[in-house]
Amino acid sequence: MATPVVPNQFAVGKNRIIHKPTTATFSFETGHTTFKSINWGRADEQLSSGLNYRKDDIIPHCAAVVEQAAKVREGHETPRVHHAAWRRGNADDEGENDRGLTATDTKT
């Protein structure tokens, strides 16, 4: 009997996702939702623990994880503001922010 696949069984890296119980590895290009390569590891085999994860059960969860990772990355493509600059407000082109402070000012 197949063992259920759950989202917390996946380790997500910059360009790959691993199904930890089977070591199935899914490689992808950052920002894309298609797989570049798949190494199935021990999927569709009975593990020493007696568990058996099916490829057909792993792939939909992995695809959802990749899609979610792509959405998260899309939201982080905008330039990030350094934490100290954020506390002072956004600086304009002359180096002053909307409160009249420059990056070298220590006033808050």
Q: How distant, in Å, are the alpha carbons of 34, 43, 65 from that of 78?
A: 23, 38, 22
Is residue 68 domain-resident?
Answer: yes
Is residue 44 domain-resident?
Answer: yes
Q: What tens digit of pLDDT does each residue of 25-39 get?
A: 999 887 777 889 999
Is residue 89 domain-resident?
Answer: no
Is residue 85 domain-resident?
Answer: no
Residue with tokens 């998260």: 72
Entry pTM: 0.64
Q: Taking the CB of residue 62, how many other CB atoms lie within 10 A of it? A: 23
Is residue 97 domain-resident?
Answer: no
Is residue 19 domain-resident?
Answer: yes
Is residue 14 domain-resident?
Answer: yes
Q: What tens digit of pLDDT does each residue of 60-86 get?
A: 988 888 787 777 666 654 444 444 444
Examine the pLDDT at 56 and tell me if it is beyond 60. Answer: yes
Give the model's pLDDT for residue 102: 45
Is residue 103 domain-resident?
Answer: no
Which residues span the domain enclosing 68?
7-75
Total domains in the fold of the chain: 1
